[in-house]
Structure 1
């Protein structure tokens, strides 16, 4: 017995199509934004091209054929460079970017603020403070345990911010302000440790704080990939909730959305993704801030598109890591420093644009 896929189109101005998969009981229907689907396809192609370029370029230039030969499991002179050094790093960068892009879209949707991101609500600062305290007290037996420590610190910081922002419901403005305050306090803890610690420990913490993919690979990409897979059902739910939640809270409640529970669920999901990405690669500034806004401007959707945000974040991180590796060869710039260098002017532009009156 064969099944066919049918699609029913909305009016052209809506830009929506209903994709129905018959055969299920009840039948499954998916609401697809046509432009978002097209943008996601383009971003996927761009991501594949950037990943291939990153695998080919470096101190040792490798042809695409040799890269494909190694990826298929073949052996040769480039097995070490491509198979053990570049490919795991590229995969980790794509996963980190996808997690940060998705987390930024979720947090900005909850706060209704394009200037909000997991960095603002203290996830990165909490991860950094937990890592510093673990190194200072000697509670971490091996460097491999640092990602778990940073994830726990990010979750704890975000939980504290959420508790401070709760006043008979989550107040978005209080949420952002509490996150800024907690972030400043935790940043002070980190700097206090750096000024009163041994040189080796301080250098290790400084390298982690800048955010880097150097020396990282499958050991970090595997757990982060598992987190993304475990979060996939929650992301499918989030895609449905974000449409009515983009309206005002009263309208969303009238449409059957439990607004407070939805806000809590979206926040927890975003914090888990951001903390996991930070634990894998360190804090990469401005990726979670810029990726959702770039994706929204490309897709032209009323709410932040999760898939496009994830793909945009992956493209940004992989491309930034390629530039960081090759710009000053043989020196290597931490990818977090490069994303902050590019993201800072974007934040200033966004701040200036948010103060302008909108044309009617």
Structure 2
């Protein structure tokens, strides 16, 4: 078993005499080859820099978020409360017990939603192929609503199981309906949009069949909010997320190959249908993880992978940059939601609707330009 190591391959260095090529030719960006045992992956220099900058931005927003509230704290007071054991007990109570769990879950949920969006957009080879567009998020919402409204359970694990089963069931149905002598991405998206619309009607019907108190509880949860989350939800969600990240580690290269096409993927030793099935399971589980605790938070999965792709200037979607952009978007959205006193899910829907309209226009213009 080899120990983990990082090698640097400089594809952009100028070539000198005796190398067989004239000086000054640029063969691309510097690449870091990360190897750990039998597993290896390549990371471009620009992607590494972008990821580092996003992490710094998340931490900076975190300091601002931890200081915002009825008891306003300056960034210095927040850092003192975090790292100085002799800091004010009131400040440490506010930061550690009340505000830190919300920030950490915003990061965790953003990572999960960003990675999930990258997975489904790679599978469908379409920027519209995110779980909240093709119905998988709605299926998770329906499954969780059945647990809360019909079974009457508010346990995190029960709601999580319902969200996972609901999302998986919708994924199976959508795949079966979209499969016609092969799986075409555009057909999958259209079928998914139809399934999402039908499930939205089912969710409304369930709300009408229960008591007013239960309907109000489900409506508040369905708006998508991080305000009531604490360590009780954060700790199990972190463990589940860690297990899913291990699964994501096996998807990087197969998904990149799948974006080129099934035939090209097969020539590279990637089984297309098997990869889609495993990727769908991981993506639905990531979405269900967030839905079970905070309710449906839309459009993070849609926007994060495309923003990450433009920032890194990559030829294909990458899970890590997409996940980090998702975390940055959700942390920023939650901070703004606190300032305007709205659930973060309502804010992401408002902003995401604008982004979706721009994306549709951009895709149409791009297609006309290619023609």
Considering the TM-score relative to the shorter chain, is it more than 0.5?
Answer: yes
2:135–2:195: 8 Å Cα contact kept in structure 1? yes
Which residue in the other structure is 1:85 paired with? 98
Secondary structure at the residue paired with 2:245?
A: helix
Residue 89 of structure 1 deviates from its aligned partner by 0.5
| 1:72-221 matches, cutoff 5 A | 72=83, 74=85, 76-140=89-153, 142=155, 145-221=158-234
Q: Does 1:335 align with 2:344?
A: yes
Correspondence 1:7 to 2:18: no
Unaligned runs of 5+ in 1: none
Q: How many residues align?
A: 352
Map of 1:246 onto structure 2? 259
Tell me if the contact between 2:67 and 2:74 (Cα under 8 Å) persists in the aligned partners: yes
Give the secondary-structure state (helix, strand or coil) at the position aligned to 1:30: strand
Work out the CA distance in 2 between the residues paired with 1:62 and 1:309. Answer: 31
Aligned to 1:37: 48
CA–CA separation in structure 1 for the residues paired with 2:323 and 2:286: 11
| Deviation (angstroms), 1:17 | 1.6
Partner of residue 222, structure 1: 235
The Cα offsets for residues 25-78 of structure 1, whole Å up to 9 and x where unpaired, read as 76x653121111111111111111111110011221113343334434836112
Distance 1:335 1:29 in 2: 37
Q: Which moved more, 1:350-359 or 1:304-313?
A: 350-359
Q: Are residues 73 and 270 of structure 1, via their aligned partners in 2, closer, same or farther at CA, if it must alter by over 3 Å?
A: farther
Which residue of structure 1 lines up, in the alignment, with residue 23 of structure 2?
A: none
* 8 A Cα contact 1:16 1:31, kept in partner: no
* Comparing 78-87 and 168-177, the one that deviates more: 168-177
Q: State the shift of 1:345 in Å.
A: 0.7
Hey, what's the Cα distance between the residues in 1 that align with 2:4 and 2:136?
A: 45
SS in 2 for 1:291: helix
User: What SS is found at the alignment partner of 1:31?
Assistant: strand
Question: What residue ranges of structure 2 are gaps of 5+ in the alignment?
Answer: 13-25
The change in CA–CA distance for 1:42 and 1:20 in structure 2 (over 3 A counts) is: closer
Q: Per-residue CA shift, 1:100-152, capped at 9, x if unaligned?
A: 00000110010011012111222222222223323332441657743332233
Q: Which stretch of the first structure deviates more once superposed, 83-92 or 146-155?
A: 146-155
Cα RMSD for the two superposed structures: 2.4
Aligned to 1:350: 359
Task: Output the CA distance in 2 between the equivalents of 1:142 and 1:183.
Answer: 25
Shift of the 16–171 alpha-carbon distance from structure 1 to 2, 3 Å rule, reads farther
Cα 1:20–1:310 shift into 2, 3 Å: closer
TM-score normalised by L of structure 1: 0.90
Higher relative contact order (CA 8 A, sep 6+): 1
Q: Return the match for 1:19 from 20, 33, 46.
A: 33
Give the Å deviation of 1:20: 5.8
Q: Is the 8 A contact 2:11 2:28 kept in 1?
A: yes
Deviates more, 1:272-281 or 1:145-154: 145-154
